[in-house]
Structure 1
């Protein structure tokens, strides 16, 4: 069991949905930017569901979502996981967080991709706890 789940369970309305990026992300991004700009955002993250791993939560009661996914272009020497939030009622934002990075050219040098991903997931879960205090 991940460390963040040992500390506190996720708030009840949030459901984990890791099977594919929710269409909600594309819709929200297109309302903030043009479809052309949206297609380029985070190296095509929302147009091509090709890079893994992702972690994603959805709150069907208010239409909000949270996503952890790679946000850098695959050819960059440093890769990074970003945390993205779609609040209730509309909009889209990148959550400012610690740099969850790894170096693909040195896959065994810490932090590894898996460590960076787990750290980003833990931070996202903490964000959900705080977010629920304001909803």
Structure 2
């Protein structure tokens, strides 16, 4: 049985700390949609046995219409890894637009599936 568990609270602070340690101070605020007061999906898992964590978070670009989801892994010994789920970009012109919401949700599902495969392995 896997020790990995979903974590449904705010983004684990270690994601900010390790991200900024690796890519520079001030580079991490995009990780948390609450910072931008935008209701965007996010998923996290923790492994209490090892201290590792995985997060799927929206990635904000300078152009607010071009967004994507990133998958990040925090190994127990420190650092932060980017897990590559493939293309998860989408264009958001109007959050009330059903088609745009579908594209966002499809990109999110793809990133979450990649994270789960990393955590649990491939499922039959």
TM-score under structure 1 length normalisation = 0.71
Answering whether residue 104 of structure 2 is matched by residue 113 of structure 1, we say yes
The alpha-carbon deviation at position 109 of structure 1 amounts to: 5.4
- 5 Å matches for 1:95-134? 95-105=83-93, 107=97, 108=99, 112-130=103-121
- Aligned residue for 1:71? 59
How many positions carry a matched residue from both structures?
116
Which shows bigger deviation, 47-56 or 61-70? Answer: 47-56
The alpha-carbon deviation at position 20 of structure 1 amounts to: 1.0
Q: Distance in 1 between matches of 2:44 and 2:100?
A: 27
Find the partner of 2:11 among 18, 21, 26: 21
Q: Distance in 2 between matches of 1:49 and 1:21?
A: 14
The alpha-carbon deviation at position 78 of structure 1 amounts to: 2.0
The alpha-carbon deviation at position 17 of structure 1 amounts to: 0.8
- Aligned residue for 2:35? 48
Structure 1: 5+ residue stretches without partners: 1-10, 131-135
TM-score under structure 2 length normalisation = 0.77
Q: Distance in 2 between matches of 1:96 and 1:25?
A: 17
Judged with a 3 Å threshold, the aligned counterparts in structure 2 of structure 1 residues 79 and 32 are, in CA distance, closer, same or farther, namely: closer
Deviations 1:70-99 (A, max 9, x none): 112373332100000111211111112211
- Aligned residue for 1:57? 45
Question: What SS does structure 2 have at the residue aligned with 1:97?
Answer: coil
Deviations 1:50-70 (A, max 9, x none): 452100001111111000011
The alpha-carbon deviation at position 102 of structure 1 amounts to: 1.6
Judged with a 3 Å threshold, the aligned counterparts in structure 2 of structure 1 residues 80 and 33 are, in CA distance, closer, same or farther, namely: closer
Contact 2:19/2:27 (CA < 8 Å) preserved in 1?
A: no
